[in-house]
């Protein structure tokens, strides 16, 4: 294991100063990916149709407090909007007032699905460009140094500069490719959650509207 770590350290040092910049962006990308994964896959439920059915039953039977208890401690945007709808219904608001409260809260709640998600795309693009910049810098240093060294050293200097250029390019792509894959996966998950939010809130609001009309 120590042998592989030493090889990785040597590879990192051979990439030049831009490797530290790439390391910073890779750390940021990992942090954002972990935070978004926890929120999109663990905090936000994918299918709330079963919960909406229970809420409709509780509201229809006049058990508004039970409906509120079902939604307490839930941090997802969908459940937050359902909570607002139930609270407004229990407070005796009209159907239009309930819908207005939900729509007003939805402006900030839906945004929670996509917050910081575009950073992954940013990190992918920036890492690629920094890798390219490191490549150009390495090649410039190589050809510049050739004029000031002996003929016997020119080959080794040129090889060292090309190696640095290729390493930074590879490092940038190693960061960019996973970022784009994770960004696509999370974007699809976001679309599914937004669709579930729309369906759940509309179902509950329509039920409450019919209940108020009785």
Write down the domain spans for the chain: 2-209
pLDDT value for 214:
72
What is the Cα–Cα distance from 52 to 131, expressed in whole angstroms?
Answer: 49
Q: Environment class of residue 212 by beta-carbon count within 10 Å: exposed (0-12), middle (13-18) or buried (19+)? A: middle
pLDDT value for 28:
96
What is the Cα–Cα distance from 74 to 123, expressed in whole angstroms?
Answer: 31
3-state class of 72 per DSSP?
coil
Q: With DSSP H G I counted as helix, E B as strand and the rest as coil, what are the percentages for the chain, rounded to 5?
A: 85, 0, 15
- In this structure, the number of other CB atoms found within 10 A of the CB of residue 54 comes to 13
Q: Which of 88, 33, 81 is nearest to 197 (CA)?
A: 81
Q: Would you state the structure tokens that stand for residue 186, as one six-digit string? A: 């999370």
pLDDT values of the chain reduced to their tens digit, one per residue, 214 residues: 677 788 878 878 877 888 999 999 999 999 999 999 999 999 998 788 899 999 999 988 888 889 888 888 778 999 999 999 999 999 989 999 999 999 999 999 999 999 999 999 999 999 999 999 988 887 777 777 666 666 666 667 677 777 778 889 999 999 999 999 999 999 999 999 999 999 999 999 999 998 877 7
Contact 113, 196 (CB under 8 A): no
pTM of the model: 0.86
CA distance between the termini of the chain:
72
What is the Cα–Cα distance from 155 to 142, expressed in whole angstroms?
Answer: 10
What is the Cα–Cα distance from 81 to 197, expressed in whole angstroms?
Answer: 8
Contact 76, 45 (CB under 8 A): yes
Buried b (16+ CB within 10 A) or exposed e, 61-83: eeebeebbebbeebebbbbbbbb
pLDDT value for 119:
96
Helical pair 64-71 and 77-90, crossing angle rounded to 10 deg: 160
């Amino acid at each position: 294991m120590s042998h592989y770590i030493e090889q990785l350290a040597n590879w990192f040092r051979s990439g030049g100063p831009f490797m530290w910049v790439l390391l910073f962006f890779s750390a940021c990308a990992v942090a954002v990916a972990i935070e978004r994964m926890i929120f999109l896959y663990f905090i936000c439920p994918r299918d709330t149709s079963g919960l909406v059915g229970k809420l409709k039953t509780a509201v229809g039977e006049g058990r508004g407090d039970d409906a509120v208890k079902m939604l307490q401690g839930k941090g997802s945007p969908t459940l937050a909007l359902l909570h607002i709808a139930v609270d407004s219904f229990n407070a005796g608001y009209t159907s239009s007032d309930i819908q207005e409260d939900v729509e007003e809260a939805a402006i900030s709640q839906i945004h929670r699905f996509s917050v910081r998600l575009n950073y992954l795309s940013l990190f992918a693009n920036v890492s690629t460009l920094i890798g390219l910049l490191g490549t150009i810098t390495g090649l410039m240093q190589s050809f510049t140094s050739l004029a000031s060294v002996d003929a016997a050293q020119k080959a080794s200097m040129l090889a060292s500069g090309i190696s640095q250029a290729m390493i930074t390019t590879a490092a940038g792509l190693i960061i960019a490719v996973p970022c784009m894959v994770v960004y696509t996966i999370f974007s699809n998950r976001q679309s599914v959650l937004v669709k579930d939010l729309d369906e759940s809130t509309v179902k509950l609001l329509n039920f409450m509207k019919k209940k108020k009309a009785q």
